[in-house]
Structure 1
Amino acid sequence: MPNNELFFLYKGRPLVRSGKTIYYGDMNAPYVVMMQIHSQKAFEDLPLSENISLQMMSTDLTLPPDKLILKKAEKQGLYQALDIASVWLDRLSRS
């Protein structure tokens, strides 16, 4: 496992953001969750994420493109998106 001290962690897994895309999970693990922020609303002077799509993806790039995505969902708000992403990854790590 890489040195996670370099990343912000949520429930022990790294969060990496690039623009409106957030990756949740360890890229060395079999799966990660990609979250794409589709809309934001203003709260005081901060943007808050509203509509977020999630995709649980395999990190095995030898798979054909149609086999890379295992699950998809749409959530309202970053907390709900992170919550379901955490559940997905927890279930896979137990199986």
Structure 2
Amino acid sequence: MERIIGVFEEHFDDPYLNPMAELTFEQLTAAFPDVPLAELEEGLSHWTNHSGEKTLSTKTLEADGRESRVWYVHGLTRHRIDPFSSSSGHVALG
């Protein structure tokens, strides 16, 4: 999740509060050239359907008669890795 958030932060000043901070699958693919498409799709699906605190969402936009899917982050707080967590890699809100 940290890597995904990092991509948003590279493109937008504050992706958590910016309603225009949306990235297409093509933009995310370009940001992760070392990740196979199937793995990227699986990772995005995991974090969008995550049962805990949701911060990655997706929606479908229609432009010029075509539909495209975009991802965005939401929330009023940034995410960080909790250094005190017994489970490394878990995302904590703070």
TM-score by length of 1: 0.25
Q: When you count strand as a share of all residues, which structure comes out higher?
A: 1
Higher relative contact order (CA 8 A, sep 6+): 2
TM-score by length of 2: 0.25
